[in-house]
Structure 1
């Protein structure tokens, strides 16, 4: 028997409920405004760490359960500060990933376009596992990964059909060369096509960014696409468990101390790639500034280590020193 749906609550009722559960609300007017603009459910992801842990542990609950009541000393203002910190991280990630996406699009188009202007549509220009291997089960049965990629490409092309550059190439040439086609790809499409390139082509691009090989670089792109999707959809980023994990680089010792399940590791990957793409960028300094704004709650329930940052990270050779 399903549980009954939770009843609708007014903004005043939402605020009262938080206070009844132990959340201090120092400025009710401001708190109500945040609930009105951001929503109770979205903010609940940021006050989740402030909820008390169930002291009763059983064999069936190895992961501590969160109670509805808040840790003593929890303030609504701390929740808002954590949300703002997270928003700044998302914007910073999107800034870096836009530059990374643009640069790798060009790398792919320049390399494959030299072989065939329509290499993205030509199975012979891609790895056989991607362009020739037929799927034998599931919804993709009877098709190749390249077939599925082309479906998505055509869908994006259709959505962009009124763009002047698309209309021009479609009407005059019937299709888009790869150096134009990249403009309708998203990060995921770029990542997928890169993974489907021939080994030598993948390795060539990977070497530019310091990855040991193309397979490693493909995993970097998958992970960064995960970060991009979280950021683009305004989801909580600061302490998320990264599902698409990348291998840890071995070119410097500081990588070994990081957790590749946490976002900070991928911010470091972004920095490493930005050093290649735009070495004079001040992006790293903006990351330093945002990290310095991490809200230090008196409850101690949130800490920068949950983001994945480790002691002494500021001194690493990854960051240009003043």
Structure 2
């Protein structure tokens, strides 16, 4: 299909938005944001303020809506900007906590596997046979072989002095407690998924999670969250593709508030998981309180389209358990 949308100057972009009903109080400031942030990135934040019309119904008779070009009455350009800035700070605060969690998991995994063998990560016997042999990717390569290739590439790419020093002194193979420092969150998550159940359960219980399958899904979802933050993507109300599992009712009290299909697919549950794990890693941290203060500053729009933390999947009364 031929792409028929012409290039537009920043002034033309702003004119198009005002033509569609977006109010602009400070034209110079709006142009500055278009020049600095970009129309396409900002469009993700004014999208919720567009008029939606029902165009049909699905097989369950639920309405199918489509976004129109017009904006809801009283929507201002600054509404999108404030939402963008809120989301930006949210990602930055989460990145701080995810770093702590990732570093702690490196230690957890290296300590557990290293006790068995300094080079345990290189041996198939270390891992759960059915998970390690599971075919993955388009070429259907065994998970263990695929993971080995990826981990080796990260190790070879590392420019860290400690890696160079180790290789000069001991040779090319890195023990797990050295290799782990060259891996990213996704590599850690995939390694954890291949580990034997006793090893997974041992680490999961450290974080108060009794079911290793639940904890495995948490790490997979946190890797997804980390990638969203690292690529500066919209987070606040996105549909979570890699959804985490929930523990059994009553096992982790705060999780019970998310036993709803819609909340399960929203990012607030991931925020709750980050909070839970950060408090295990850093029991005296004030990170969760700082994040709560930020969440409570969710911008109130001028638009007649009301948005709130509920659009993120926040359950009623979340403040009660958040600071426990």
**Residues 189/75 of structure 1: CA separation in 2 closer, same or farther (3 Å cut):** same
Q: How does 1:163-182 map to 2 (within 5 A)?
A: 163-173=160-170, 174-182=172-180
Deviation, structure 1 residue 93: 1.2
How far is 1:128 from its partner?
A: 0.8
The alpha carbon displacement at 1:134 in A equals: 6.2
SS at match of 1:64: strand
Tell me by how many angstroms 1:315 deviates.
Answer: 1.0
The equivalent residue for 1:311 is: 316
Distance 1:5 1:171 in 2: 57
| RMSD between superposed Cα atoms in Å | 1.7
SS in 1 for 2:264: coil
In the alignment, which residue of structure 1 is the partner of 2:121?
120
Cα-to-partner distance string for 1:126-163 (whole Å, 9 max, x where unaligned): 111233x263x86334x421110011111112211x32
What aligned pairs does 1:257-268 form with structure 2 within 5 A after superposition?
257-258=257-258, 259-268=263-272
For residue 257 of structure 1, report the CA deviation from its aligned partner. Answer: 2.3
Tell me how far 1:236 sits from its aligned partner: 0.2
Tell me which of 178, 182, 185 is aligned to 1:184: 182
CA shift digits 1:158-188 (9 cap, x unpaired): 211x322111222322211111111110000
Q: Give the 4+ runs in structure 1 shifted more than 4 A.
A: none
Query: How many residues are treated as equivalent by the alignment?
Result: 313
3-state DSSP of counterpart to 2:68:
strand
Is the CA contact 1:260–1:266 (under 8 Å) kept in the aligned structure 2?
no
Once the two structures are TM-superposed, the CA of residue 58 in structure 1 deviates from its matched residue by 2.8
Q: Separation in 2 of the partners of 1:231 and 1:191?
A: 17
Q: Is the contact between residue 91 and residue 235 of structure 2 (CA under 8 Å) also seen in structure 1?
A: yes
Counterpart residue number, 1:201: 199
Indicate the residue corresponding to 2:307 in structure 1.
Answer: 302
Report the CA distance shift for 1:121/1:289 in structure 2 as closer, same or farther (over 3 A).
Answer: same
Q: Is the 8 A contact 1:49 1:301 kept in 2?
A: no
Q: Determine helix, strand or coil for the equivalent of 1:78.
A: helix
- Superposition deviation, residue 239 in structure 1: 0.3
2: CA distance between counterparts of 1:180 and 1:170? 11
Q: Would the aligned equivalents of 1:216 and 1:247 in 2 still touch at CA under 8 Å?
A: yes
Mark the CA change 1:289 to 1:168 in structure 2 (over 3 Å): closer, same or farther. same
* TM-score, normalised by the number of residues in structure 1: 0.93
Q: State the TM-score, normalized to the length of structure 2.
A: 0.92
* Cα distance in 2 between the residues matched to 1:183 and 1:175: 14
State how far apart, in whole Å, the 2-side matches of 1:168 and 1:130 are: 34
Distance 1:266 1:134 in 2: 27
Cα distance in 2 for partners of 1:171, 1:5 equals: 57
Alpha-carbon deviations, 1:171-216, whole Å to 9, x = none? 3222111111111100000000011101100000000101122211
Tell me if the contact between 2:21 and 2:75 (Cα under 8 Å) persists in the aligned partners: yes
Aligned equivalent of 2:295: 291
3-state SS in 1 of match to 2:300:
coil
Whether 1:32 aligns to 2:36 is no
Q: Which segments of 5 or more consecutive residues in structure 2 lack a partner in the other structure?
A: none
State how far apart, in whole Å, the 1-side matches of 2:194 and 2:5 are: 46
| Counterpart position of 1:10 | 9
Gaps of at least 5 residues in structure 1 are none
Question: Which has the larger displacement, 32-41 or 163-172?
Answer: 163-172
